[in-house]
Structure 1
């Protein structure tokens, strides 16, 4: 019987068996940076952020936010923006294939109480979105990413108890365990949510980023 391996080099199998090669076309990148922030920085930011929220989420009374603002709006935003920007530029080069100048366009604090959740959504008017964790996230409240709705799936699937879920047939993917100080970034168009939090209070800071310009074969646009 033939075998399958998910590799790209075309190498012969040592046993002489026919090997089918599985190639992941057009994958969606998600970047995780474990421990980007030092514990002292995390503690200082968490202390400043935990009582800063004033806006209740439209879908959950147990989720609150600060107003969306620029990185220059206050010292909390400014300090965090400076820390994440090099990683934003690194992720941006993966997305667009070129080293561009990036800026944090919007940034805000999220405080998720036990039982709270964040409804499925995307982020408009940006290209990179990210989350910095200031507290550990309970496994129940890890961010969950979803496939685009109605875009590339079959009209009839095969979801049943016998089906083995993998990266090619699954409809959603939950971020593995995250810790205080971790950074997670993803393309802003990617659908995501936070299920009901079954753990302690979860504090994070989210942001949106844009490059200074994009050039598509001479059709260029600049962003303020």
Structure 2
């Protein structure tokens, strides 16, 4: 018999190519990039819109209608059941040349996502990271001869996206964007919550 290796408790990241059609992608990028006036403390080359909801624009209503079914699919992986989901907030990020996004996660939500509205330089692909908390060995084996694999890697660089692509991930997952060596990169981020969670007689209902 052959030895077996089990990948216990994997963290899902779901890539959905071409969720938004090109005309909607272009309209979102053009409309909301002009509203991205809020600076980011971690980088001079990064700015955001205010927090938005689908009700703020017909463009966001159209985007949410296409994105929400994908969130429901992803939510079934997280919670083992087909649940109702609502997008709680959306915002547009504009990352200019040299800008970056520091490592962070998203509070007060369960599923988060990024929709890419422009081409993204390979230098500025979204990077997902292990939590810096105490869930690993205190000593590392880290040198030029180490072969990196899924059980010892500390980060994962997402594939190069195309405009209209969506990436979904659990809101607790740490992620960042390295310094952008290319042109302007525009993305739309979002947070989503299930309408209800139940656990052996206890139930919580959420308002989107």
TM-score range, shorter chain: over 0.9
Higher relative contact order (CA 8 A, sep 6+): 2
Partner of 1:118: 101
Q: Counterparts in 2 of 1:59-208, with a 5 A limit? A: 59-208=42-191
Please identify, of 91-100 and 37-46, the stretch whose mean Cα deviation from structure 2 is larger. Answer: 37-46
User: Equivalents in 2 of 1:120, 1:23: separation in Å?
Assistant: 29
User: Equivalents in 2 of 1:108, 1:45: separation in Å?
Assistant: 11
Choose the corresponding residue for 1:47, options 25, 30, 34. 30
Kindly state the Cα deviation for residue 144 of structure 1 after the two structures are TM-superposed. 0.5
Conservation of the 8 A alpha-carbon contact between 1:133 and 1:183: yes
Partner of 2:12: 29
Partner of 1:217: 200
Name the SS of the counterpart of 1:82 in structure 2: helix
Conservation of the 8 A alpha-carbon contact between 1:57 and 1:64: yes
User: Equivalents in 1 of 2:52, 2:107: separation in Å?
Assistant: 15
Unaligned runs of 5+ residues in structure 2 are: none
User: Equivalents in 2 of 1:69, 1:48: separation in Å?
Assistant: 13
C-alpha offsets along residues 117-145 of structure 1, whole Å, 9 cap, x if unaligned?
00110100000000000111111101111
Kindly state the Cα deviation for residue 77 of structure 1 after the two structures are TM-superposed. 2.2
What is the number of residues matched between the two proteins? 207
Normalised by the length of structure 2, the TM-score is 0.96
User: Equivalents in 2 of 1:42, 1:68: separation in Å?
Assistant: 19
Normalised by the length of structure 1, the TM-score is 0.89
Kindly state the Cα deviation for residue 90 of structure 1 after the two structures are TM-superposed. 0.6
Kindly state the Cα deviation for residue 74 of structure 1 after the two structures are TM-superposed. 2.0
Work out which of the two has the higher radius of gyration on C-alpha atoms and give 1 or 2: 1
Conservation of the 8 A alpha-carbon contact between 2:20 and 2:63: no
C-alpha offsets along residues 18-64 of structure 1, whole Å, 9 cap, x if unaligned?
52222100000000001112222222222222212110111111111
Name the SS of the counterpart of 2:66 in structure 1: helix
C-alpha offsets along residues 163-211 of structure 1, whole Å, 9 cap, x if unaligned?
0000100111110111111000000000000010001100010000001
